[in-house]
Copies of this chain bind each other. A is one copy, B any other.
């Protein structure tokens, strides 16, 4: 077990912002990238937050991330656009895509932006939630390097390809779904590795496609399984969802897709014969008053949320949650009491600080 210690949001944000500035990001981009990155830590999705900062820097060092991208619309209609992220941080490119989607939604009701030549964009939920303030439904998805085997496949052909959908309400807290299209995220396997425990059946398979409980199986040629785990439990549905995310994000935009999606670790060579440019995202915004008067929608949405949040719990449970409830609670708690960072990540950040002539205090 690793010890860990809490950092305030402000401590982590100041450090992350300093790193992005050292990379050469313009000041406003450094602030935005920090907000996006740390929203993961606040919401309890530790695998996608500051723990990845070192990884982003390494991609910048090898030239796969451009700190001063010229993000451009390369194709558009009144409700759609494709943008070229110019190898920018996904943390910057995806919010820009959402701004464009919302601008189009203001004009014609909805906006849909497919993005190529980007990089990892942090948590999908951040980008989807941008729409909430504008009384819009927001959607965000991204492809990622292949860790997942389709149903009946021994090969890894898809990333964990998350989907986020944020839906505004009136008095009730909004609906915010944000999930990988796999049974379990890779971060959960990493935790099991650190703790030296087995993983549950249904999370992964070995190199030949056999069921396994080995938490280190990905290092031995194994794969994560799509949501549903096995055919009998509906894995072909999780496989279809992951496919849709890959196609909307990368085939629609001209990014690299399927087994050719670029890897996150900078030491992993780029795939050969890449059919497109960089990672892809798909971002959508729908104005709720493009369908109904906003007050009517919000009133019904409040009823929906209230009914689900007050459902009779199953035996052994105390509460039925709506998507986003647990993350919202965590965000409040961590903003107040700080964010725990495991020692291994603290060491990584301290080494990064030294390399960049910055300071990062190791607390445990």
**Chain A residues within CB distance 8 Å of chain B:** 75, 77-80, 82, 107-110, 112, 114, 149-155, 157, 165, 167, 175, 177, 179-184, 200, 202, 205, 208-210, 227-229, 232-234, 236-241, 243-244, 246-247, 251-254, 257-259, 275-276, 286-288, 290-292, 296-297, 300-301, 303-304, 307-308, 311-317, 319-323
Is the pair A243, B109 in contact by a Cβ cutoff of 8 Å? no
Is the pair B292, A237 in contact by a Cβ cutoff of 8 Å? no
Is the pair B292, A82 in contact by a Cβ cutoff of 8 Å? yes
How far is it, in angstroms, between the C-alpha of A303 and the C-alpha of B252 when the chains are bound? 13
Is the pair B236, A233 in contact by a Cβ cutoff of 8 Å? no
Is the pair A275, B254 in contact by a Cβ cutoff of 8 Å? no
How far is it, in angstroms, between the C-alpha of A247 and the C-alpha of B114 when the chains are bound? 24
User: Closest chain B residue to A113 by CB distance?
Assistant: B291
How far is it, in angstroms, between the C-alpha of A322 and the C-alpha of B153 when the chains are bound? 11
- How many copies make up the complex? 2
Shortest distance from the beta carbon of A148 to any chain B beta carbon, whole Å: 12
How far is it, in angstroms, between the C-alpha of A153 and the C-alpha of B312 when the chains are bound? 6
How far is it, in angstroms, between the C-alpha of A140 and the C-alpha of B64 when the chains are bound? 38
Contacts known (A152-B319, A227-B228, A312-B155); A80 close to B254, Cβ less than 8 A: no
The contact of A243 among B107, B177, B237, B286, by CB within 8 Å, is B177
Instruction: Return 17 A-B CB contacts under 8 Å, by A number.
Output: A79-B110, A80-B286, A152-B320, A152-B321, A165-B244, A175-B243, A177-B244, A210-B314, A227-B237, A228-B234, A236-B321, A236-B323, A247-B301, A252-B297, A253-B291, A258-B307, A259-B307
User: Closest chain B residue to A109 by CB distance?
Assistant: B77
Is the pair B208, A315 in contact by a Cβ cutoff of 8 Å? yes
Identify the interface centre among A229, A259, A304: most chain B CB within 10 Å of its CB.
Answer: A304
Q: Which residues of B contact A241 (CB under 8 A)?
A: 177, 241
User: Closest chain B residue to A77 by CB distance?
Assistant: B109
User: Closest chain B residue to A228 by CB distance?
Assistant: B227
The contact of A210 among B78, B151, B275, B315, by CB within 8 Å, is B315
Is the pair A234, B184 in contact by a Cβ cutoff of 8 Å? yes
Identify the interface centre among A233, A234, A243: most chain B CB within 10 Å of its CB.
Answer: A234
Is the pair B233, A202 in contact by a Cβ cutoff of 8 Å? yes
Contacts known (A109-B112, A240-B323, A257-B300); A308 close to B150, Cβ less than 8 A: yes
The contact of A78 among B78, B180, B236, by CB within 8 Å, is B78
Is the pair B233, A183 in contact by a Cβ cutoff of 8 Å? yes
Is the pair B110, A291 in contact by a Cβ cutoff of 8 Å? no
Is the pair B300, A251 in contact by a Cβ cutoff of 8 Å? yes
Is the pair B314, A177 in contact by a Cβ cutoff of 8 Å? no
Q: Which residues of B contact A155 (CB under 8 A)?
A: 311-312
Contacts known (A234-B179, A254-B296); A290 close to B154, Cβ less than 8 A: no
Q: Which residues of B contact A229 (CB under 8 A)?
A: 233
Is the pair A314, B252 in contact by a Cβ cutoff of 8 Å? no
Is the pair A251, B301 in contact by a Cβ cutoff of 8 Å? yes
How far is it, in angstroms, between the C-alpha of A308 and the C-alpha of B323 when the chains are bound? 32
Contacts known (A184-B234, A288-B252); A313 close to B153, Cβ less than 8 A: yes
